[in-house]
Amino acid sequence: MRRTIPYRYGVILLMAALALPACQEVIDIELDTTYRRLVVFGTVTTDSLHHQVRLSTTSDYFSNQPAPAVSDALVELKMGETVLRLEELDSVPGLYQTPVAFRGKPLTRYHLHISQVDVDNDGIFESYEAETTMPVTPMLDSIRLVYFQTPFFSGYQVFMFAMDSPEREWYGFKIWKNSDLLTDELSDYRVQSDDFVNGKYIYGLPVGFLTDSDPRQTLLPGDTVTLELNSIGEDFFDFISDAQLEIMGNNPLFSGPSANVHSNIGNNGIGIFTAYSLRSVSVIVRP
């Protein structure tokens, strides 16, 4: 059970900035290798779209090649009595999507089944399973933008107002500027549990910061800022939190030993299959 506190990254950045400066250099290192594993990334949301699953494999750490795609797999999505066979896109090997667009439903249990893959090249097909339940739609109320100017950075802080239900929940925050998704990187997608706000009205939780130093994030009067609040499951929360720690890298002051990112893919698979509900609210930047 974990939580991300609102100011965790800010605190760590402050400490890192104020700590004695260190120096960095590229070094040559020889690493061992390991057997190949299947990598899965699949999502189902409450948006009406063709939901997708991407399959690839692991490779040696310094292989420096694009991740090998896994083609011709049998990928099935089961929800209740309905089973959908996902079709691989000709234009993007390894990317499978549902043949029809549909909206995922909260409280529905989704089951992903992958077969007819031979990742370890031993001539025997393997199969992989994953399950997830879509949480209820979050009760997002509104957002507010507040401009900050500090010695270290300036820009707009996005504050969220919402009602948290008494159940344990986990949230993800996506921020759009007009039609541009600003939090498209794994490292930018903030996630948080509701440990400190459980069952309470959330007054102004900071959920994102749009910095003036990035032209893509700089806001001008008339721009529309949209917060997409995702109600995600604990598996996805763990996956994103772990992945972000690994992307940040090891720091002896703040982090524990490196470790594999959480996965809910069976049979020693890697990655995540998740279903989340969402709700969006927008605000227009005033002059």
Q: Which of residues 71, 250, 267, 282 is near another protein by CB under 8 A?
A: 250
Taking a C-beta distance cutoff of 8 angstroms, is the pair 33, 62 a contact?
Answer: no
Q: Minimum distance between the CB of residue 107 and another protein, rounded to whole angstroms? A: 20
* Binding status of residue 93 toward another protein by CB under 8 A: no
Region from 124-132, 134-142, 225-233, 239-247 binding another protein, contact rule CB under 8 A: 239-247
| CA distance readout (Å), 284 to 139, 166, 177, 205 | 21, 31, 10, 19
Region from 126-134, 180-188, 211-219, 273-281 binding another protein, contact rule CB under 8 A: 180-188
Site for another protein in 151-170 (CB under 8 A): 151-152, 159
* Binding status of residue 200 toward another protein by CB under 8 A: yes
Count, residues near another protein per rule CB under 8 A = 86
Q: For residue 258, which of 42, 55, 8, 31 has the smallest C-alpha distance?
A: 31
* Binding status of residue 84 toward another protein by CB under 8 A: no
Q: Backbone phi, then psi, for 176, in 5-degree steps?
A: -115, 140
Alpha-carbon gap, residue 209 to 14, rounded angstroms: 15
* Binding status of residue 287 toward another protein by CB under 8 A: no
* DSSP helix/strand/coil, 114: strand
- Give the pair of three-digit tokens for residue 247: 């992307």
* Binding status of residue 133 toward another protein by CB under 8 A: no
* Binding status of residue 121 toward another protein by CB under 8 A: no
Q: Backbone phi, then psi, for 56, in 5-degree steps?
A: -150, -175
Which lies closer to another protein via its Cβ, residue 118 or residue 184? 184
Q: Minimum distance between the CB of residue 2 and another protein, rounded to whole angstroms? A: 3
Q: For residue 142, which of 97, 189, 202 has the smallest C-alpha distance?
A: 202
